Amino acid sequence: MDDKELMSDEEFSTMATEGGFAEIIGDLRARLLIAPTTVSGNLGVSDAAGGVLSWQNTTGHDCLVELAMNITTATGAATVNAGVAATSVSANNLMTALSTAATGCFTSAKDPGACGKTNQLCAKGSFVTISMATGTMAPLAGRYVISITYLN
């Protein structure tokens, strides 16, 4: 994306009424690429790799991702790893050995563990996964939010 300054809302409205659709489409694309977005859903309970979460980046763009989990039903003595990888495998570059024995909101920024990072590059086609590390995921319940910032 180039460093073009975005139109004001007033300029945008004027352009729309004067038929400058090419400029409008270009400006909309630029606005979408700089605006962070999110993906959210329910946590899974499978003990398989990517069984708690497996989201593929099908946006067509490389992006920076951060992860949040709100655990509403704890598992007992269990842990999960969360991360980004080329396939839907267990990865721990966002969160490492996060205990799911307690309810609460956990984030890659606040709770990265030994190998985790606040955020990671998620290339187009790559996956964000949450996988069982120890224990069992049943009866885990809650939601996840992946915060996405587009890089190109």
pLDDT band of residue 150 (cuts 50, 70, 90) is: confident
Closest by Cα among 63, 68, 54 to 98: 68
pLDDT band of residue 18 (cuts 50, 70, 90) is: low
Backbone CA torsion sign across 17, 20, 22, 25: negative
Question: Which residues are registered as beta bridge partners of 69?
Answer: 106, 144
Listed in sequence order, the residues at least 6 apart from 26 whose beta carbon sits closer than 8 Å to its beta carbon are 4
Mean pLDDT of 92-120: 97
Q: 37-150: which CATH topology?
A: Jelly Rolls (2.60.120)
Does the pTM exceed 0.85? no
**Three-state DSSP state, 10:** helix
Distance CA 91, CA 80 (A): 10
Q: Confirm if 114 and 81 have CB atoms less than 8 A apart.
A: no
Q: What is the pLDDT of residues 133-145, one digit of tens each?
A: 999 999 999 999 9
Domain range annotation of the chain: 1-35, 37-150
Beta strands in 27-134 (DSSP E): 37-42, 53-56, 63-73, 79-85, 95-99, 104-107, 120-122, 127-134
**Three-state DSSP state, 14:** helix
